[in-house]
């Protein structure tokens, strides 16, 4: 067996990929959540594990089942809030969009709709919703909209029981493209964090990442030069990922760590050697004592500026990043703790490692018996030894 070793990045032994099911999956898995003990998947899926579905499916431990037949377009996110389950769909054909609530048998529109101004047509058209969360007892929704219910509200809104209300003056001015889109919300230290494609929050220049303290918006350093897709807390620090390449004048490629004053290198950069393709980190997810980042990338740059392989997903233990047995052959977004030391992933790929998995796969992350400790020493159970060369490319046993 061979393992790639690099400063800050290494491979894991006693860990492997396996398919969750053998049935065919058609479409892209965007997210997983757990609701009433079952795992739910959503995305652009019309078939999952051989079962025909309409964008949302439930895994009961042995097979996938459809969850209603309401959605004809993609569902970007599912979110359990209290005893309720909400869905945030993309919408490209109707003149408004809603969040939906599951009643146990079907999806129902919840609250008032969202709209996005079409400056070319001078009217409102379809908006897309990206995330929902409960904050201070209120439902918060973010997405690509500039009107919610009867109010002009940009990017993020709070449901007050009868209509949507704004959080300050909302999120405005895209970093790139024509429209803003807050992509992910996260609660930490009593604050609501939001990341996405927006320059300003409440009139404050934030560049893709901001937090709301219940009254005001705040920036986090210089933010980033392009869209931010994911945010997560791990071992007391915040991490962000996206398609950015800089924070202020500092080079940071698709993943960064907040040090309390500014965004810094997280020990790894997510890149690509494919011409014309832009690497990105999409999801950051803490599972147990480990942090995972997934997205679209096919190589990484470690802390010593060495280029090392890394295909669409990495594992981090707080000291080293791991390449996860070859990763996947396509983009990956969904991540959830499956239990029993396993992590379930989903996206738009056919293989994980060299195993055919059809867009979803289980990662069995057990004891790491081969780990890079420093530039010249590794620990190989049950003994340590020193490497004579500065860099060991392959190790066989």
- The domains found in the chain, sorted by start residue, are 2-17+63-349+365-396 (2.130.10)
Whether the per-residue pLDDT at 2 is higher than 90: the answer is: no
pLDDT of residue 1: 34
pLDDT of residue 145: 93
What band does 111 get if pLDDT is binned at 50, 70 and 90? very high
pLDDT of residue 45: 98
- The gap from C-alpha 101 to its chain's centroid, in whole angstroms, comes to 22
Stretch among 80-89, 118-127, 275-284, 331-340 having the lowest mean pLDDT: 118-127
Nearest CA among 92, 80, 68 for reference residue 31: 80
Alpha carbons 198 and 185: distance in angstroms, whole number: 13
Percent residues over pLDDT 90 in the chain: 78
Helix (H) or strand (E) holding 347: strand 342-347
255-258 and 263-264: which strand pairing? antiparallel
Nearest CA among 294, 308, 305 for reference residue 255: 294
What band does 96 get if pLDDT is binned at 50, 70 and 90? confident
pLDDT of residue 11: 47
Please answer whether residues 74 and 94 qualify as being in contact, where contact means their C-beta atoms are separated by less than 8 angstroms: no
What band does 179 get if pLDDT is binned at 50, 70 and 90? confident
Whether the per-residue pLDDT at 389 is higher than 50: the answer is: no
What band does 304 get if pLDDT is binned at 50, 70 and 90? confident
What band does 365 get if pLDDT is binned at 50, 70 and 90? confident
What band does 125 get if pLDDT is binned at 50, 70 and 90? low
pTM for the whole structure = 0.89
Whether the per-residue pLDDT at 324 is higher than 60: the answer is: yes
What band does 73 get if pLDDT is binned at 50, 70 and 90? confident
Mean of the per-residue pLDDT values of the chain: 88
Could you tell me where the DSSP H helices lie in the chain? none
pLDDT of residue 94: 67
pLDDT of residue 308: 85
Phi-psi domain of 71 (left: phi exceeds 0; alpha: psi -120 through 50; beta: other): beta
What band does 124 get if pLDDT is binned at 50, 70 and 90? very low
pLDDT of residue 14: 52
pLDDT of residue 121: 45
What band does 116 get if pLDDT is binned at 50, 70 and 90? confident
Whether the per-residue pLDDT at 397 is higher than 50: the answer is: no
What band does 95 get if pLDDT is binned at 50, 70 and 90? low
Whether the per-residue pLDDT at 352 is higher than 80: the answer is: yes
Average pLDDT estimate for 65-92 = 94
């Amino acid at each position: 067996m061979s393992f790639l070793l690099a400063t800050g990045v290494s491979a894991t032994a006693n860990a492997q990929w396996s398919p969750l099911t053998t049935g065919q999956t058609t479409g892209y898995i965007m997210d997983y959540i757990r609701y009433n003990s079952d795992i739910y998947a959503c995305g652009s899926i019309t078939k999952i594990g051989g079962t025909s579905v309409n964008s949302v499916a439930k895994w009961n431990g042995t097979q996938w089942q459809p969850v209603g037949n309401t959605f004809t377009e993609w569902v970007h996110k599912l979110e359990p809030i209290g005893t309720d389950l909400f869905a945030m769909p993309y919408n490209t054909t109707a003149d408004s969009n809603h969040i939906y609530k599951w009643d146990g048998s079907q999806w129902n529109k919840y609250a008032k709709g969202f709209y996005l101004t079409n400056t070319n047509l001078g009217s409102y058209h379809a908006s897309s919703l990206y995330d929902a969360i409960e904050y201070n007892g209120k439902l918060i929704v973010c997405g690509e909209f500039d009107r919610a219910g009867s109010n002009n509200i940009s990017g993020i809104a709070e449901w007050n029981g009868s209509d949507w209300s704004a959080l300050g003056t909302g999120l405005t001015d895209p970093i790139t493209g024509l429209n803003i889109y807050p992509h992910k919300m996260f609660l930490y230290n009593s604050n609501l964090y939001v990341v996405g494609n927006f320059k300003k929050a409440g009139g404050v220049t934030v560049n893709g990442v901001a937090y709301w303290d219940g009254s005001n918006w705040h920036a986090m350093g210089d933010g980033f030069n392009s869209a931010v897709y994911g945010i997560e807390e791990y071992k007391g620090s915040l991490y962000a990922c996206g398609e950015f390449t800089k924070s202020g004048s500092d080079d940071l490629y698709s993943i960064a760590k907040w040090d309390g004053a500014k965004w810094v290198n997280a020990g790894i950069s997510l890149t690509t050697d494919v011409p014309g393709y832009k690497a990105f980190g999409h999801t950051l997810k803490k599972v147990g004592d480990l942090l995972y980042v997934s997205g679209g990338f096919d190589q990484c740059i470690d802390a010593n500026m060495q280029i090392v392989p890394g295909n669409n997903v990495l594992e981090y233990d707080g000291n080293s990043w791991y390449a996860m047995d070859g990763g996947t052959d396509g983009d990956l977004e969904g991540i959830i703790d499956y239990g029993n030391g396993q992590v379930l992933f989903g996206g738009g790929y056919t293989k994980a490692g060299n195993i055919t998995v059809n867009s979803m796969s289980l990662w069995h992350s057990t004891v790491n018996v081969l780990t890079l400790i420093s530039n010249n020493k590794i620990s190989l159970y049950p003994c340590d030894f020193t490497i004579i060369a500065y860099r060991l490319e392959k190790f066989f046993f």
